[in-house]
Amino acid sequence: MPEIVVLSGKGGTGKTSLTAAFAHLMHNGIVCDLDVDAPDLHILLAPQVQQEHAFISGVEARIAREHCTYCGRCEVMCRFEAIHQQGNNLAVNPLRCEGCGVCHVVCPSNAISLTQKHCGQWYESSSRFGPMVHAQLFPGEENSGRLVSVLKQQARETAKKNALDLILCDGSPGIGCPVISSLSGAHLAVLVVEPTPSGQHDFLRVADLCDHFHIPASIIINKADLNLAIAAAIENLCTERGYAVAGKLPFNMDITTAMIAKQAITETASPLGAMVVDAWENILIQLKNGARKRTLPL
């Protein structure tokens, strides 16, 4: 089952807006929002939730006050300073607790238990562009990489069950754990880059990550006309590294208008929509060819 993951080294490049358009253009596929820390693809796609699931991951400490003798050992031994005085009692701050279990081990009264942690929710939904899986991690929670893995697994099962042809994923910005998890098993990474110094810098970091995992990359230079010199430098980098360039899109306020209307740009009559269609066709060709070919004269 082919899997495409749309990534950008930094936020604000237009990654999610383009993913929404690709979801619109995709036929017989499933869309998967892997930006679990700050998901927003659902705002554009307005999915109907069919099934909701709790995401349980890791453990957190709980103090049974009736057994606690207030010896203070746990407070001293917790290197994350998660245990603190609360009135006459000791309490665990769940935002600080890392679930390491040290307090549980050192407590002489067996007053501390480690309980499973409810870190977020994930959803199986239907959208106007087909099935969708998405999630929301609770504030301050970790294990985003594991949640990404849960979503991808569900997307694969749904795709198999419904004989779908493609899994399209919206990844998170950066190069951290959720991005690495989203690249696992991907056949093509679409990297959306904007021509700014930070955009170029962060693009190289995520490109390095794709190279490290031997995942072909296809590049979209978005808002390319905002800085022609940096856009040209990014093109040169793509040539040097052998990345396929799927599209070079101009800055166009139509994308903002479409977002306000909760539409993908390809659902509008904007000329930018037609350019995104061309980029998507290039991506599909590159997916088929393994993406190590520059296909678009810029």
As measured in angstroms, the least distance from the Cβ of 143 to ligand SF4 is 15
**Residue number, 51 or 110, with CB nearest to ligand SF4:** 110
- 3-state SS track over the chain: CCEEEEECCCCCCCHHHHHHHHHHHCCCEEEEECCCCCCCHHHHHCCEEEEEEEEEEEEEEEECCCCCCCCCHHHHHCCCCCEEEECCEEEECCCCCCCCCHHHHHCCCCCEEEEEEEEEEEEEEEECCEEEEEEEECCCCCCHHHHHHHHHHHHHHHHHHCCCCEEEEECCCCCCHHHHHHHCCCCEEEEEECCCHHHHHHHHHHHHHHHHCCCCEEEEECCHHHCHHHHHHHHHHHHHHCCEEEEECCCCCHHHHHHHCCCCHHHCCCHHHHHHHHHHHHHHHHHHHCCCCCCCCC
Compare residues 7 and 78 and give the one whose CB is closer to ligand SF4.
Answer: 78
Q: How far is the CB of 148 from ligand SF4 (least distance, A)?
A: 24
Closer residue to ligand SF4, CB minimum distance, 2 or 94:
94
65 or 292: whose CB is closer to ligand SF4?
Answer: 65
Min. distance of Cβ 280 from ligand SF4 in angstroms?
46
Q: How far is the CB of 86 from ligand SF4 (least distance, A)?
A: 12
The rounded distance, in Å, linking the Cα atoms of 21 and 261 is 14
Q: Which is nearer to ligand SF4, 59 or 180 (CB)?
A: 59
The nearest distance, CB 177 to ligand SF4, in angstroms, is 19
Minimum distance from CB of 93 to ligand SF4 (Å)?
8
Q: Which is nearer to ligand SF4, 118 or 262 (CB)?
A: 118
CB 180, min distance to ligand SF4, A: 24
CA distance 246 to 160: 28
C-beta of 6 vs 82, nearer to ligand SF4 = 82
Contact residues for ligand SF4 (CB under 6 A)?
Answer: 61, 63, 68-74, 78, 80, 82-83, 90, 92, 97-103, 107, 109, 111-112
